[in-house]
Structure 1
């Protein structure tokens, strides 16, 4: 179903992720830091007999992270590897019939790098984000 999206927030911004790219949504209490990892790598966490690399979406956008006791994680598969995208909140999964529209506003560099388009859901503008771009991290992480 190409028009089903997971609605979440990153840095208090409502975003949409194509549900077809989402394996699951989980809460994780403890993330083990990884020494010398790029700043957008929050750490590692166990999930159902596998280890997830946890991505801090805020840091992947070049923003300061928001402290959280418990992490809401969107599990995605990128190039055969499982990653957990740490988001602020998870609202729901929604069917949005209209195709993504081009972005007509000027976005900060981090948002512009991960944005695929805009979706209108009941009058609310949702930024459609690319999980693969979040996993890749900010430009300076790519240069390292």
Structure 2
């Protein structure tokens, strides 16, 4: 049995997101900042008559602002998802591919950057390149934990 993954980049790192957690991938052209929110919350955006909480995945994981320019005219890629009845747009640096992977995920081996340890659940390969497997729900759960801290 194969698993369908979206292959993307977050903070310059290759990641794989299971497509059963994803509603769509969109380009967000505008995000309205919200005062008083943690740095990983980029703001709010309206899309298809829905309000999305926009989370900068690079800032959440690495603790620093994403290297991508804040809002270029072309917009930024966001992975749309619904977690716990709330709509989110998870900002990623770029989207590379979508593919079904038949082989089971590999365990994390070697040295993994401390920032990625709580988030990476394993590794899959696509086009000869290794990608960390991330769970969007788990990542956003850490988002709530980071906000509470």
Q: Same fold (TM over 0.5)?
A: yes
**Runs (5+) with no aligned partner, structure 1:** none
Residue 86 and residue 28 in structure 1: after superposition, are their counterparts in 2 closer, same or farther (change >3 A)?
Answer: same
SS in 1 for 2:116: helix
User: Match for residue 65 of structure 1?
Assistant: 66
Alignment of 1:117 with 2:122, yes or no, is yes
Contact persistence 1:25–1:72 (CA under 8 A): yes
Contact persistence 1:39–1:59 (CA under 8 A): yes
Count of aligned residue pairs for this structure pair: 143
Alignment of 1:81 with 2:82, yes or no, is no
Displacement after TM superposition at 1:139 (Å): 5.8
**Runs (5+) with no aligned partner, structure 2:** none
User: Match for residue 16 of structure 1?
Assistant: 16
Aligned-residue CA RMSD (Å)? 1.7
Displacement after TM superposition at 1:130 (Å): 1.6
Render the CA deviation track for 1:41-78: whole Å, top value 9, x for unaligned: 00000010110000001111123322241110100111
Q: Give matches, 1:1-144, under 5 Å.
A: 3-61=3-61, 62-66=63-67, 67-68=69-70, 69=72, 70-135=75-140, 136-137=142-143, 140-143=146-149
TM-score with structure 1 length normalisation? 0.91
Contact persistence 1:25–1:73 (CA under 8 A): yes
Contact persistence 1:59–1:137 (CA under 8 A): no
Distance 2:145 2:110 in 1: 21
